[in-house]
Amino acid sequence: MLRMFQEKERPRPCASDTLLMKRSQDMINHARPEGSTLESPSVPSAAGLHGVAQAVVSRARSEGFVVPRTIRQELAQAGMPDGQWKDVLALVRPQLGYRQGRYYFVSPMAARMRQAKRNQQAIQRAVRQLLGAYKKAVAQHSERRQQFRFPLCRPVTVYTDDGRELHVFSRDISASGIRLIGTYNLQGQRVRCRIAADDGDSPPCCFLVQVLWASAAGDNLYENGGIFVELVLSP
């Protein structure tokens, strides 16, 4: 009974209060941009940044290059803060090359060629390090090849894809490849070869090697010739 009494005594809004509330809501709706909500602005998502990044790459491909102003324009068109242009640049960096204040489009093929060139340069630096003790032999060597081969007898630890650790010796080396001798036929395999430096102070070098050929050199003894694919940090 008490509850029924309270419900009967609850004050109801008068007509003036209802009109005031309606007008206040109309003013809020009028001031709010069309399609907006009262929610706080959301932080630009990673998906939105990726969309801007794709647009920037497309412009670089069609126009030849972009500049920071171009990236800020794309952010503004997407409704994002233009201060995030460096975040977009970090996403597109592999596809754009910087030169004299401009970011030029780099095709995937050109990027792979540049990476292959860097790999070969790293390999050649490591080979020169291994051959530091053989400079006199280099001057006296008269063999003519596309890449000179230098005699280099070193213990080499070979790591195979199936988890084996093999111990062989290097016989000679060049800037493009190496010849190994041991009791294993490695033809057709891609292996990692760890070679100790001659001076004992320098760190060992580890190469990824594609073995192209093998031939018998004696009873249970094989020569294996391979080319360097890349320089790796560890086996």
Per-residue pLDDT reduced to its tens digit, 195-220: 987 666 778 889 999 999 999 988 98
Angle between helix 46-63 and 68-77 (nearest 10):
130
Cα distances from 28 to residues 38, 89, 203, 207, in angstroms, run 10, 39, 71, 69
Listed residue (147, 152, 231) closest to 193, CA to CA: 231
- Give the predicted TM-score (pTM) of the model: 0.46
| In the predicted structure, residue 19 carries a pLDDT above the cut 60 | no
| In the predicted structure, residue 55 carries a pLDDT above the cut 50 | yes
| In the predicted structure, residue 62 carries a pLDDT above the cut 80 | yes
Structural domains for the chain: 46-106 (1.10.10), 132-232 (2.40.10.220)
Average pLDDT over residues 102-113: 78
Q: What's residue 153's pLDDT?
A: 85
Q: What percent of the chain has pLDDT over 70?
A: 69
| In the predicted structure, residue 42 carries a pLDDT above the cut 50 | no
Residue located via tokens 């050109």: 110
Conformational region of residue 219, where left means phi above 0, alpha means psi within -120 to 50, and beta covers everything else: beta
| In the predicted structure, residue 181 carries a pLDDT above the cut 80 | yes
Greatest alpha-carbon pair distance for the chain in Å reads: 117
Q: What angle do CA 177, 128, 171 make, to 5 degrees?
A: 45
Sign of the torsion angle spanned by Cα atoms 124, 130, 136, 140 = negative
Compare 33 and 76 and report the one with higher pLDDT: 76
Question: Band of the pLDDT at 12, cuts 50, 70, 90?
Answer: low
pLDDT (tens digit, 9 = 90+) per residue, 121-177? 888 888 887 777 555 554 554 454 555 667 788 899 999 999 999 999 998 888 889
Average pLDDT over residues 23-40: 48
Phi, psi for 205 (deg, rounded to 5): -105, 140
| In the predicted structure, residue 15 carries a pLDDT above the cut 50 | no
Phi, psi for 124 (deg, rounded to 5): -65, -35
